[in-house]
Amino acid sequence: MRAFAFLAAAMLTLFCSIAPAAADGMRCGSRLVSDGDSMYLVQARCGAPDDANNWVEYRTERIKVGSVWVERTVEVKYERWTYDFGTDRLIRFVVFENGRLIKIDTGPYGEKNLG
């Protein structure tokens, strides 16, 4: 019974330590990219994306100027890259905000034949 409890605790610890890294990172061969990385670094580690889309959104910010709060509208640039690593791996969607990686989503299995 002790061995089972120890094994269960070890598996839980292992799962908890691996899960957060998978949520905010992507492996490209032996290299890893994660939140906060620049577009340049992602392309250097993972290569050119298979597809890229970009758009602009506008956001209202409140900033304090002296003792007065002022609202201003700022332009936020987004870019979404798609990586298809082949039919045996899931497609990855990488989203950048103002040139920095903010989100990695997983799609269906890839369609690109790499062989």
pLDDT in tens, 16-44: 444 444 457 999 999 999 999 999 999 99
User: d(Cα 78, Cα 76) in Å, to the nearest integer?
Assistant: 7
Residues near 4 by beta carbon (within 8 Å), at least 6 away in sequence: none
State how many domains the chain has: 1
Assigned domain for 23 exists? yes
99 dihedral zone (left: phi>0; alpha: psi -120 to 50; beta): left
Assigned domain for 84 exists? yes
Return the pLDDT at 113.
80
Assigned domain for 115 exists? no
Assigned domain for 77 exists? yes
- The domain of 17 spans 2-109
What are the pLDDT digits (tens) for 61-79? 999 999 999 999 999 999 9
